[in-house]
Structure 1
């Protein structure tokens, strides 16, 4: 085999390996569940009560809010490849464009209505208007959003994930509340540095 053919084959195999790593989900575990270190295993370990606060809540939050039941909040999920989140939308609020690098998201609207959408890798936008009882799937890793366009009524949704830690990358926060150089962002967005600096002010603590 020639040196150039070997290099091409090595490149193809490396690319294939990288693709396989990026599409992999949570690793399989070799036990029924993962026990906590120095913890007691009983029914409480497999119970999450963090959503109880919703039952007594009389008014929606002032801004968009997420209550998560992921591996961090509910350790029994670690190794089980599942998690949930409750999304609370006050009137007119938005869950900004973001991605989940480790899972698709299956969203169920339980109250109110939402405008939702995602952008695929060809830059095509898919949108839908959802009512209570409707479901929508956001494919793994793609940029998506949810918006309660109703100026008077709140909305509530439940999201299911195929990972105990789906991860969230909020695009506005990641881009404008990080230490990425202003010039880099200005070039990327084809705008002026002053515009980037104005945007960053909105994310300052």
Structure 2
């Protein structure tokens, strides 16, 4: 009887493991039609056109790091197409803090300026590079990465392409310090005190 119970538990664990592997390997699902249109939407050339980047043409640079996205939320025609882009604008001295994209790799193309980039693999090895205008860099799927414009006066602009219509972004600082994780847990994890954690949280709190 005990061996039968163990076998059933082992089989359940095996099935669960396969399910987890399938979830981890999942990307945008394949579709059986050329495109997916929301209900009650007129499908013509306008549906497949995104105009949200027009403000970037001839516009001034922002005073802080800014991301302009054309992903599923902004551009519904991307549903099922496994592609999206973002335009990244870096004033001098600004950074895109460490973050991950859980559902896609990121291919960054630097179109102006210089940019320090890097990612950390699962062995905690850091891979960095200083990109020049015209360079590309790939951030592997799901790994922590960042970009930093170290120039004192010059801005930098990059375009990032993703292999998912909804790559997702998880900001490491915001996830840790703006998600109501108990201060004691964070203090113990970072081997510091609660006062330091509260100071970090205050600095990352949304500006009213």
TM range (shorter): over 0.9
Gaps of 5+ in 1: none
Determine the structure 2 residue equivalent to 1:171.
Answer: 172
Determine the structure 1 residue equivalent to 2:20.
Answer: 18
Q: Aligned equivalents of 2:82 and 2:70: distance in 1?
A: 12
TM-score by length of 1: 0.95
Query: How much does 1:6 deviate?
Result: 4.2
Q: Aligned equivalents of 2:100 and 2:205: distance in 1?
A: 22
Consecutive aligned runs of 4 or more in structure 1 exceeding 3 Å deviation: none
Determine the structure 1 residue equivalent to 2:51.
Answer: 49
Q: Aligned equivalents of 1:190 and 1:10: distance in 2?
A: 38
Determine the structure 2 residue equivalent to 1:101.
Answer: 102
Gaps of 5+ in 2: none
Query: How much does 1:53 deviate?
Result: 1.3
Question: How do 1:1-205 and structure 2 match up within 5 A?
Answer: 2-57=4-59, 59-205=60-206
Q: Aligned equivalents of 1:7 and 1:98: distance in 2?
A: 37
Q: Secondary structure at the match of 2:199?
A: helix
Q: Aligned equivalents of 1:117 and 1:5: distance in 2?
A: 46
Provide Cα deviations, 1:30-77, integer angstroms capped at 9, x if missing partner: 2111112211111010011111111111x3100000000001111100
Provide Cα deviations, 1:136-183, integer angstroms capped at 9, x if missing partner: 111111100000011110000000001111000001111111211101
Query: How much does 1:3 deviate?
Result: 3.5
Provide Cα deviations, 1:9-46, integer angstroms capped at 9, x if missing partner: 43233223202212210111121111122111110100
The 1:117–1:199 alpha-carbon spacing in structure 2 relative to 1, beyond 3 Å, is same
Q: Aligned equivalents of 1:151 and 1:23: distance in 2?
A: 41
Query: How much does 1:5 deviate?
Result: 4.2
Aligned pair count?
204
Q: Aligned equivalents of 2:7 and 2:149: distance in 1?
A: 55
Q: Aligned equivalents of 1:183 and 1:119: distance in 2?
A: 27
Query: How much does 1:120 deviate?
Result: 0.8
TM-score by length of 2: 0.94
Q: Aligned equivalents of 1:93 and 1:148: distance in 2?
A: 6
